[in-house]
Amino acid sequence: MGANMGKPSSFLDSLPSAQGTLHVVMLGLDSAGKTTALYRLKFDQYLNTVPTIGFNCEKVKGTLGRSKGQAFLVWDVGGQEKLRPLWKSYTRCTDGIVFVLDSVDVERMEEAKMELARTARSPDNAGVPVLVVANKQDLPGAKEPKELEKLLGLHELGNGHMWVVQPSCAITGEGLFEGMDALYEMILKRRKLAKQVKKKHR
């Protein structure tokens, strides 16, 4: 501790637990697999889900990499069209956005792209890192991350967003914790950049 005196922020930076609980919102079209993913993250088991009306909210803990032990409060907001206007109120003041995608549903890819773009453009969400969970990779015909990048227009997301595409299968849980770790890395990077900018303008 002594060696770090006078540099409290860098000391705190090295302690993930010092960051407190991070707020994350899960978005995506209905039946993309959001609720399945949330309960996989929470209980490490498959739970039969019913379409979400309103929202689910669970505290989950990272298990991999630097996110190990880090608490995330994850909001799973219903994806049905009539509920989407609510997304805005949940994404205010969030540390990260998890956008869950059905990697097989090419018919609704354009709709998913539009919803993601709408969320990303919102001034409240400027610069909030986006984890795209390319779900249902177990199904034949699932699109690969590189292709989804293009289909979702991720390179044109703008508004200062960092993003990562993580392939997953929410039923087995494959890829979910890797995704949370990638999201955590982006959150840390964003904080570091913000601090550098602050320093520059002092």
- Binding footprint of Mg ion on the chain (CB under 5 A): 34-35, 52
Catalytic residue among 19, 70, 80, 196: 80
Question: Which x/- pattern, by CB under 6 A, does the window 67-96 give for ligand G3D?
Answer: ------------x-----------------
From CA 142, how far away is CA 103, in angstroms rounded? Answer: 5
- Residues between 20 and 59 that touch ligand G3D (CB under 6 A): 28, 30-36, 49, 51-52
From CA 112, how far away is CA 37, in angstroms rounded? Answer: 18
Residue closer to ligand G3D (CB basis): 38 or 162: 38
Binding partner at 136 among ligand G3D, Mg ion, none, C-beta below 5 to 8 Å by kind: ligand G3D
- Residues between 103 and 132 that touch ligand G3D (CB under 6 A): none
Query: CA angle, corner 52, sides to 143 and 186, nearest 5?
Result: 55
Residue 194 binding ligand G3D, by CB under 6 A: no
Which residues are paired to 132 by β-bridges? 99, 165
Q: Which residue has the tokens 């509920």?
A: 83
In the chain, beta strands by DSSP E: 22-27, 55-61, 71-77, 96-102, 130-135, 163-167
Burial degree of 197 (CB within 10 A; 0-12, 13-18, 19+): exposed
Please enumerate, by residue number, every residue annotated as part of a binding site for GTP: 28-35, 79, 135-138
Which residues make up the interface to ligand G3D (CB under 6 A)?
28, 30-36, 49, 51-52, 79, 100, 135-136, 138-139, 169-171
